[in-house]
Amino acid sequence: MKPDEMDTVFSALASEPRRRILDVLKKEPGCNVGRVCAFFDIGRVAVMKHLAVLEGANLIVSVKVGRERQLWFNPVPIHMIYDRWTTEFSDYWAGRLARMKYRLENAPVPITRAKGGARG
């Protein structure tokens, strides 16, 4: 993902109404613009502007079917951003945890002595 594409995604996600639109599309994939508008107290034109920003960031996919636009949430750009910053850390910590696991499993079990018992 190019830096300017990433900036577009972050900019689109910076708006609370746009994040709510994505939530609606996640719950109701393929719904139309009118259905999305039903979740907001703002006008249809404002919702359409938010949809245009989300579509420009490739966060939604719209398909015109007759007179309606059906909308779907596209999580790929968010996943690509997530992978950019977490992959190397995930690999690092997975390796550290694996080494700790093997060390602990191969470590001798400590011997504890009972209180007041005989010593051997």
Q: What is the DSSP string of 2-71?
A: -HHHHHHHHHHHT-HHHHHHHHHHHHSTTEEHHHHHTT-SS-HHHHHHHHHHHHHTTSEEEEEETTEEEE
Say if 67 falls within a structural domain: yes
Per-residue pLDDT tens digits for 42-86:
999 999 999 999 999 999 999 999 999 999 999 999 999 988 877
Per-residue pLDDT tens digits for 33-42:
999 999 999 9
Give residue 53's domain range.
3-75
Per-residue pLDDT tens digits for 90-106:
777 777 788 887 788 88
Say if 60 falls within a structural domain: yes
If one counts the domains in the chain, the total is: 1
Residue 115 has pLDDT above 60, yes or no: no
The amino acid that residue 101 corresponds to is K
Tell me, what CATH number does 19's domain have? 1.10.10.10
Say if 15 falls within a structural domain: yes
Say if 105 falls within a structural domain: no
Averaged pLDDT, 26-30: 97
Between 115 and 79, residue with greater pLDDT: 79
pLDDT at 85: 79
pLDDT at 120: 45
